Chain A
Amino acid sequence: MKNKIEEIRKAKGIRQEDFAKIMGVSRQTISSLETGKYNPSIFLAYKIAKFFEMTIEEVFIFDEEEI
């Protein structure tokens, strides 16, 4: 699943390391999320969206063809 995490994070001027700490995950997890290698759990997706003060749909791009 594609997402706008990197774009939003950079726009807010947050380093990957700091963002990982805030989310309570490893930096590698954030990196994998940003490159689309790993899809987050609904809990982490919610946490990320809440942190960015956005909805999950605004951060994560749902593509039916990927199913």
Chain B
Amino acid sequence: MKFEKKIYLNIFYVVIGLALIGCGIADIVDSFWSGMGGALIGVGVIRIVQYVRYRKNPEYREKMEIEVNDERNKFLSGRAWAWAGYAFVMLNAVGTIAFKILENDLLSQYCAYSVCIIIVFYWISFLFLRKKY
């Protein structure tokens, strides 16, 4: 099951997180990277705790299996990503024009590039999915 396989990835997150914090203490990297290490440890530990609970508690396991495999949840997740992507494109399109009017060319360009990149990703995904299905 997917949930089980991800445990190794989370152990990896914790190891990387510890390494980043270690490097931060030794002044090899700045606070951004040690902060990132802390976040990785947090995410990794939470997932590992969930995994241990998953292994030991059959009721929780059943609940998780249903939650992960539930077709409505998958449908909703896909819909939510589609809405989020659409909102991102629209906001950036508006931002491109708004920042141009406000004479902030850098932000205007950032918004325009974001729209272009996501549209390129959309078409790549669309062509890939068209071949797959």
Tell me if A28 counts as interface (CB < 8 A to partner B): yes
B75→A26 contact, CB < 8 A: no
Residues of A within 8 A of B75 (CB): 38
A13 interface residue, CB < 8 Å from B?
Answer: no
B61-83 vs A, Cβ < 8 Å mask (1 yes, 0 no): 01000110111110100000000
Judged by DSSP, the binding face of B is helix
For A26, list chain B residues within 8 Å (CB): 66-67, 70, 72-73
- What chain B residues lie within 8 Å of A44 (beta carbons)? 71
Residue of A nearest to B72 (CB): A29
User: Closest B-chain residue to A26, C-beta based?
Assistant: B70
Q: Provide the A20-31 mask, 1 if CB < 8 A to any CB of B, else 0.
A: 110011101100
B72 touches A38 (CB 8 A): yes
| A55 at interface, CB cutoff 8 A | no
Nearest chain B CB to A25 CB, angstrom units = 5
- A21 to B69 alpha-carbon distance, docked (Å): 12
Q: What are 25 of the A-B contact pairs (CB < 8 Å)?
A: A20-B66, A21-B62, A21-B66, A24-B66, A24-B69, A25-B66, A25-B70, A25-B71, A25-B72, A26-B66, A26-B67, A26-B70, A26-B72, A26-B73, A29-B70, A29-B71, A29-B72, A29-B73, A32-B72, A38-B72, A38-B75, A40-B71, A41-B71, A43-B71, A44-B71
Q: Which residues of B contact A (CB under 8 A)?
A: 62, 66-67, 69-73, 75
Instruction: Give me the interface of A with B, judged by CB distance under 8 Å.
Output: 20-21, 24-26, 28-29, 32, 38, 40-41, 43-44
